[in-house]
Amino acid sequence: MENYFSSDFRLGVLGGGQLGRMLLTETQKYDIFTVILDGDQHAPCAEICNEFHQGSLMDYQTVYDFGKTVDVLTIEIEHVNIDALKKLEEEGLKIYPQPNVLEIIQHKGRQKDFFRNHNIPTADYTRHASAKQLGDMTEFPFVWKSAQFGYDGTGVKVIRSAEDLQGLPDVDSITEDMIPFKNELAVIVARNEKGEIKTYPVVEMEFHPTANQVEYVLCPARIDNAVAEKARDIALHVSDALGIVGLLAVEMFQTKDDEILVNEVAPRTHNSGHYSIEASYTSQFEQHLRSILNMPLGNTDNKVAGIMVNLVGEEGYSGDVVYEGMDDILHISGVTPHIYGKKHTRPFRKMGHVTIVNQDLDEARRVAEMVKKTIRVVAK
């Protein structure tokens, strides 16, 4: 194994948001020198990484020049300049996940085509080069998704009538059939360069009804073992088809007939795996580090049941952030808040999360509801 620890080795990360911030906890544990590139000088990673560079992740020269300063390059967001990564890879830089994988995943049209071409079950869809092509749609409802740059509920809209088509951005997009489903599930798969592969337990996601953001992640999911095994098998199939090194989060629907359809994937640590910091033997962030540096993968089992509650900005509040109710939730056993270091809040902005652990999942869910009602992200 290469000497990554307390050495001259430099790990580069494209993106300095909250995922990068939580990854830094693991790099600091191993004393791995970490270099971050982000467009925001006040990014959550900026003050706590070893070295910070400010610059656009989509600019060829910026990404290329940054890559020349590190020994291994990874990401915490997939919206990066692929051409620069391909050039760096040609010149011998190890980049995980690989540029060809990122190129597929960062565009929802290419991602869905990949599923179809590799017999990965997914909802029927149509690709559209512009919003003008949507005017012929007559069967409602359906889901509209921007092909690129959607995140945290943006770039996704349920279209229930022709009126809902008004105001959509004129961008490359896909439309998908609405799937009647019992549950939204996710599985995180880890793979290192040697081909060692592990899956985390299936998690269940509960979404905010209007913001299209995850409110709760429950692990383990409250589903039959046969359904859980099917979900893990499909997630492994997706990871194997992509040949990805690193983490892959596979989001899925469990249909009314207990079939599993892949919704979309993310080639990185993911909101659905935050529970693992407290509840798992190996957190997703440590596992990401192990996988991209070709270390042995860690144990993915749960020590206890875990539930993650997202902390997002309250509606009606924008400005310098204030966390109300923090003392109250800290009195509760098994509750751990994570604050992402964002100084300014706005409605539905992800500002942190809270993990609730308990031997009993139902009790953890009860506490999660209490936490959700108690803590508020507001502004001065």
Yes or no: say if 375 and 354 are a contact pair by the CB < 8 Å rule: yes
Q: How confident is the model at residue 153 (pLDDT cuts 50, 70, 90)?
A: low
Q: Residue 91 burial (CB < 10 Å; 0-12/13-18/19+)?
A: exposed
| pLDDT greater than 90 at residue 154 | no
Residue spans per domain, the chain: 10-95, 124-177, 181-379
| pLDDT greater than 80 at residue 6 | yes
Residue 209: cis peptide before it, omega within 30 degrees of 0: no
User: So what's the architecture of 124-177 in CATH?
Assistant: 2-Layer Sandwich (3.30)
pLDDT in tens, 223-236: 999 999 999 999 99
Q: Which of 140, 179, 129, 195 is nearest to 163 (CA)?
A: 140
- Pairing type for strands 181-191 and 197-199 reads antiparallel
Determine what percent of the chain is predicted with pLDDT higher than 70: 98
DSSP helix/strand/coil, 301: coil
Amino acid 4: pLDDT: 97
Task: Give the helix/strand (H/E) hosting 328.
Answer: helix 326-330
| Candidates 3.30.470.20, 3.30.390.30, 3.40.50.12500, 3.90.1170.50; CATH matching 181-379 | 3.30.470.20
| pLDDT greater than 90 at residue 208 | no
DSSP helix/strand/coil, 154: coil
Q: Phi, psi at residue 164, to the nearest 5°?
A: -70, -15
Predicted model pTM: 0.95
| pLDDT greater than 70 at residue 152 | no
Residue 99 CB coordination number (10 Å): 20
DSSP helix/strand/coil, 258: coil
DSSP helix/strand/coil, 239: helix
Q: Which residues are annotated as a binding site?
A: 108, 145, 176-179, 184, 263-264
Amino acid 304: pLDDT: 98
pLDDT in tens, 82-123: 999 999 999 999 999 999 999 999 999 999 999 999 999 999
pLDDT in tens, 51-85: 999 999 999 999 999 999 999 999 999 999 999 99
DSSP helix/strand/coil, 56: coil
If you average pLDDT over every residue of the chain, what do you get?
95
DSSP string, 61-95: HHHHHHHTT-SEEEESSS-S-HHHHHHHHHTT-EE
| Candidates 3.40.630.30, 3.30.70.270, 3.40.50.20, 2.40.10.480; CATH matching 10-95 | 3.40.50.20
Residue appearing with tokens 């900005």: 313
Residue 311 CB coordination number (10 Å): 23
Residue appearing with tokens 């770039």: 155
Q: Which residues are annotated as a binding site for ATP?
A: 108, 145, 176-179, 184, 263-264
CA distances to 23, 76, 213, 235 from 350, rounded to whole Å, are 17, 15, 9, 26
